[in-house]
Amino acid sequence: MEYIKKAQLIDEGSSDGVEHTVKAIIENVKANGDKAVQEYERKFGNSDRPVRVSEEEIENCMQTLPEETKVLIDRVVDRVSKFAEAQLSCLLPFEKDFGEGIRMGHKIIPIEKVGAYVPGGRFPLLSSGPMVVAPAKVAGAKQIVACSPANYKGGIHPAVLYGLVRSGATDIFAIGGAQAIAAMAYGTESIPEVDMIAGPGNMFVAEAKRQVFGKVGIDLIAGPSEVMVFADESATPRKIAVDLLAQAEHDPYARAILVTTSRSIAEGVIEEAAAILETFTDSSPAHESWKTRGEVIFAESLQEGLAICNDYAIEHLHLHTENSHEFTDKLYNYGSLFIGEDSSVVFSDKVSGTNHTLPTQRAGRYTGGLWAGSYVKVATHQEITGEGVQFLASHAEAQSEIEGLEGHKLSATIRIE
């Protein structure tokens, strides 16, 4: 393994400072509700508007949105919903006998109240709302509270708002940041308390989700976008460079990495990336991301390359190799896998149907991304009768005796005939 281009070490700021700031925001919102939320909106978002998005505001925004944009968003909602429905169909309730008089099973129960955080970011990402809200709707959530920053002409961008409405959000609030997470977790006079919060965001949003976890459930804590391309000598350098820079433009801290078994491909990608960046606007985050976070790694063999991919456990793993299907069973740490050079990550970002809310920072070692199953509970049940009572009570009595648990033993003994 050899780094032909290695990422620079970057000081992303003090995590202690972010933790302290977020903790203060959460405590203030818990204590002062709407007043605290509006205080932070004025301070961080330069917004002094009502926090709830009214039906009248929604209707006015809908009228400003071009029909062709609505068609694009409708397609996103439809495809994300259908994929979520297919995923949910794999989760089935069951009930069966496990011995005479011992019947057990589980039910699939939707989470009742879901909070959806949809970042404003540098661009109005049309798919972000549907990716978080549509699977919750498919799963059967009764209430979906959506929060997104009021960073477009004093409100939520009309395209983002339309996506939230079409996906099934029941309550929409024009607030962002850690204050939005705190408000959904603890509730305010205006903002309902939820049972679970999902959706990506900046470091303050991520830290807020970490701190409220336990009070509410969360999907995962996602950082800046990541992509790794694994390529052999059959790959096309320009396609690789484009795919890397597409994710690099999300954020200056995004990570775009190439792992290849070909030195000529490595050199070609570096050259192509430099040429492509010259065509990007000066303000594009891709410049900083590729300069400071971009990596090109030479692997001595396909086996070493696969091992590198599994070790990085990257968010998006894209195979630009001949016979890519041969490697899928050898890759197991990633957020989402893209098989073949034309299976662009951009398709998933926008409209293919798989969810783009995915694990970053090596979390792919232990979790997948947001999906319909994130919004349901698998809850067990049992009914013990007749001979089953005698069998289990005798066991529980003997085990409780060894453990020294008098109450447990008595609860079993009283049922032995």
Choose, from 316, 318, 320, 356, the residue flagged as catalytic: 316
Choose, from 57, 315, 341, 397, the residue flagged as catalytic: 315
Spatial strand order of the sheet with 255-260 comes to: 2-5, 295-298, 255-260, 226-231, 316-320, 336-339
- 315 classed as catalytic: yes
Residues 6+ positions from 286 with CB-CB distance below 8 Å: 245, 248, 249, 277, 280
How many CB atoms within 10 Å of residue 35?
12
156 near 174, Cβ under 8 Å? yes
Q: Is 336 strand, coil or helix?
A: strand
Assigned token pair, 252? 């200056």
Which of 314, 381, 366 lies closest to 107, judged by CA?
381
What φ, ψ does residue 381 adopt, rounded to 5°? Answer: -150, 165
For 98-159, give the DSSP string. Answer: SSTTEEEEEEEEE-SEEEEE----SS--TTHHHHHHHHHHHHT-SEEEEE----BTTB--HH
Angle formed by the axes of helices 285-292 and 263-277, to 10°? 150
d(CA 387, CA 199): 49
d(CA 198, CA 209): 9
Checking DSSP bridges between strand 102-110 and strand 376-384, what pairing results, if any? Answer: antiparallel
Assigned token pair, 312? 């990085």
Q: Is 22 strand, coil or helix?
A: helix
Q: Is 346 strand, coil or helix?
A: helix
> Is residue 292 exposed (0-12), middle (13-18) or buried (19+ Cβ within 10 Å)?
middle
> Residue 386: in which H helix or E strand, if any?
helix 386-403
- 57 classed as catalytic: no
Question: What residues are labeled active site?
Answer: 315-316
